[in-house]
Chains A and B, each alone.
Chain A
Amino acid sequence: MKLNNIWYLIRQGLRNLWLNRLMSVASAGVLAVCFLLIGAASLFSYNMRAFAHGVEKQNELVVFVDDGMARSVAAKLKKIKNVASYEFVSKVSALEKQLKRLDNEGELFRELMQENPLPDSFKVSLHDVDIIEKTAKKITKISGVQKVKVPKEVAKVITTLKNTITYAGFIIVGILLVVSIFIIATTIKITIYERRREINIMKFVGASNAFIRFPFIIEGVVIGIVAALFSYGILYYGYLYMFDILENFKINVAPIIKENIAPFSELSSYLFGGFLGVGCLVGMFGSVFFVRKYLKV
């Protein structure tokens, strides 16, 4: 293929898109729907993980410490990697909290009580709840720590939930990907089948395979780009709309859900890059692959 033909072939590809506009729109539509499904599944799975992570953060260890040891324990907690944050709860405020909870009986206790029986404590939240017991053991070894309260069952539930969401996300996106490839392949196949006569004529006039393929590649790439932009746009605005509803409490949701919704920008570059890359590659390789059959004359 000579260089002076490239511009002609690019124009030819764009022109063919218009001439076969029904099939072009159908192909781009199918591809966009596949992208939308995959994108929506990815966003859902990502948010579910973020939500599980949010719950995980709320899953705290309670570390009771000896009187006067709070400062040294805090310094050592800071050095443990899995510790995300900790909050000091003084024995005074712990007692106040308990008494408030008891209401009238609390007032009775206050009058009868001679000294505060509660110890100082830390509420410790972790990065990874999977290793909660290992971290609890480490904390127990710190001098001045009386006892560590570990919410084992909740931790187990969260770990299971997180893993289930991760695997289910992968499986759903994987299935959608396979189904999408099948649908896209069929669409490209039909598009090219419709034009087999044209390919055949070109071959008999002496066109090289590259000369015939090039406009198809241009068409495939443009269809891929259009589908990627279209589906990205719909996902972006759809997500913003949903975000807006949750943000402004137009519907009743638990604060933990609201707080853990990932902003679109966190995933936008992956989605955009992924859609664009996959769109171009699918269009390009799909065209090359299915045109091949009709080039064998």
Chain B
Amino acid sequence: MILFSNVSKEYKNGTKALNNVSFSIEQGEFVFVVGPSGAGKSTLMKLVMREEKATNGDIEVNGYNLNKIRGRKISKYRRSLGVVFQDFRLINQMTVYDNVAFALRVTGATGKDIRHRVPYILGLVGLLPKAKSYPSQISGGEQQRVALARALVNNPSIIIADEPTGNIDPELSENVMELLGEINKCGPTVVVVSHEHNLVRKFGNRVITIEKGEITSDSNGEDWSLGKK
């Protein structure tokens, strides 16, 4: 599903963000990626989203070789992912409904599909009553749930969440993680980048730790809590 083989990433300014990283994540797994600031977590996410290209090594996600795809195929590839960002990245000039519908529209979905699917997904995340609100009119936790709804609406096989609880309070954070757990149970792979160890301890199945651009541990949640690698 997600396969990193000896991946290194060096930015143009000489910063070495990842060094010879290899791992694989299978379909249906729930994986946390943890590590201190500057460890390379964000770079890893950027590589998965094809925002950046690896300097060395191979990355394969959903059958796409990310070193080789370009142009339209990148858009098509991104539609197979559901991405949730720390800063939500909602379009402020669109309503909650339109933000979610947008992810469907880019796939060429018909009006009928959109009218059917969007209310269903908004219902799942408990935001149907706020469908006509604008992002600025709802709370941070609600905005994150909109982002989650947008990530889910295309039935992606992988959900990538980059610090999804970074901008919301602890109670809502658990709520979002529970939601991600529920989604995972329905089939999609979920990869969560986080630095909140409490959440990782509570919800973690598999935990990949990155430090200074290298994977320092890859263990299940329990072992990670006990400090075993």
Nearest CB of A to B48, in Å: 12
Q: Mark A202-222, 1 if CB is under 8 A from B, else 0.
A: 111111110100000000000
Nearest CB of B to A249, in Å: 56
Q: With A4-B111, A297-B51 as given contacts, are A204 and B106 in contact (CB-CB < 8 Å)?
A: no
Does B105 lie within 8 Å of A5, measured CB to CB?
A: yes
State in angstroms the CA–CA spacing of A208 and B103 once bound together. Answer: 11
Does B83 lie within 8 Å of A204, measured CB to CB?
A: yes
Q: Mark B100-128, 1 if CB is under 8 A from A, else 0.
A: 00110111101100000000000000000
19 more CB-based (< 8 A) A-B contacts, given A205-B150, A206-B78, A208-B72: A4-B110, A8-B105, A16-B93, A201-B89, A201-B90, A202-B91, A204-B49, A204-B51, A204-B78, A204-B83, A204-B85, A204-B89, A205-B102, A206-B75, A206-B106, A206-B107, A207-B102, A207-B106, A211-B106
Does B93 lie within 8 Å of A5, measured CB to CB?
A: no
Does B90 lie within 8 Å of A206, measured CB to CB?
A: no
Interface of A is mostly: helix
State in angstroms the CA–CA spacing of A117 and B111 once bound together. Answer: 97
Nearest CB of B to A206, in Å: 4
Using a CB–CB distance below 8 Å, which chain A residues touch chain B?
A: 1-2, 4-5, 8, 16, 19, 197-198, 200-209, 211, 297
Q: In the complex, what residues of B have CB within 8 A of residue A2's CB?
A: 108
| Contact of B130 with A by CB under 8 A | no
Nearest CB of A to B90, in Å: 7
Contact pick for B79, options A1, A4, A206, CB 8 Å: A206
State in angstroms the CA–CA spacing of A188 and B155 once bound together. Answer: 37
| Contact of B76 with A by CB under 8 A | yes
Nearest CB of B to A1, in Å: 8
Q: In the complex, what residues of B have CB within 8 A of residue A203's CB?
A: 75, 78
Q: In the complex, what residues of B have CB within 8 A of residue A211's CB?
A: 106
Q: Which A residue sits closest to B78, measured CB to CB?
A: A206
Does B78 lie within 8 Å of A205, measured CB to CB?
A: yes
Q: In the complex, what residues of A have CB within 8 A of residue B78's CB?
A: 203-206
Does B103 lie within 8 Å of A205, measured CB to CB?
A: yes
Nearest CB of B to A219, in Å: 13
Q: In the complex, what residues of B have CB within 8 A of residue A205's CB?
A: 78-79, 83, 102-103, 106, 150
Nearest CB of B to A14, in Å: 13
Nearest CB of B to A197, in Å: 8
Does A5 lie within 8 Å of B51, measured CB to CB?
A: no
Q: With A8-B105, A201-B89, A201-B90 as given contacts, are A206 and B150 in contact (CB-CB < 8 Å)?
A: no
Q: Which A residue sits closest to B153, measured CB to CB?
A: A205
Nearest CB of A to B222, in Å: 34
Q: In the complex, what residues of A have CB within 8 A of residue B51's CB?
A: 204, 297
State in angstroms the CA–CA spacing of A5 and B108 once bound together. Answer: 7
Nearest CB of B to A194, in Å: 11
The 6 closest A-B CB pairs, nearest first, are A206-B79, A2-B108, A206-B78, A207-B106, A208-B75, A201-B89
9 inter-chain pairs at a CB distance below 8 angstroms, sorted by A residue, are A1-B108, A198-B92, A198-B93, A200-B89, A203-B75, A204-B85, A206-B75, A206-B78, A211-B106
Does B91 lie within 8 Å of A201, measured CB to CB?
A: yes
Q: In the complex, what residues of A have CB within 8 A of residue B89's CB?
A: 197, 200-201, 204
Does B150 lie within 8 Å of A4, measured CB to CB?
A: no
Q: Which A residue sits closest to B113, measured CB to CB?
A: A4
Nearest CB of A to B92, in Å: 8
Nearest CB of B to A198, in Å: 5
Q: Which B residue sits closest to A207, measured CB to CB?
A: B106
Q: Mark B60-96, 1 if CB is under 8 A from A, else 0.
A: 0000000000001001111101010100011111000
Q: In the complex, what residues of A have CB within 8 A of residue B90's CB?
A: 201
Does B105 lie within 8 Å of A198, measured CB to CB?
A: no
Contact pick for B106, options A16, A197, A198, A202, CB 8 Å: A202
State in angstroms the CA–CA spacing of A12 and B44 once bound together. Answer: 34
Residue in A5, A197, A198, A205 with the greatest tally of chain B CB atoms within 10 Å: A205
State in angstroms the CA–CA spacing of A205 and B82 once bound together. Answer: 8
State in angstroms the CA–CA spacing of A211 and B107 once bound together. Answer: 10
Q: With A19-B93, A198-B93, A201-B89 as given contacts, are A208 and B106 in contact (CB-CB < 8 Å)?
A: yes
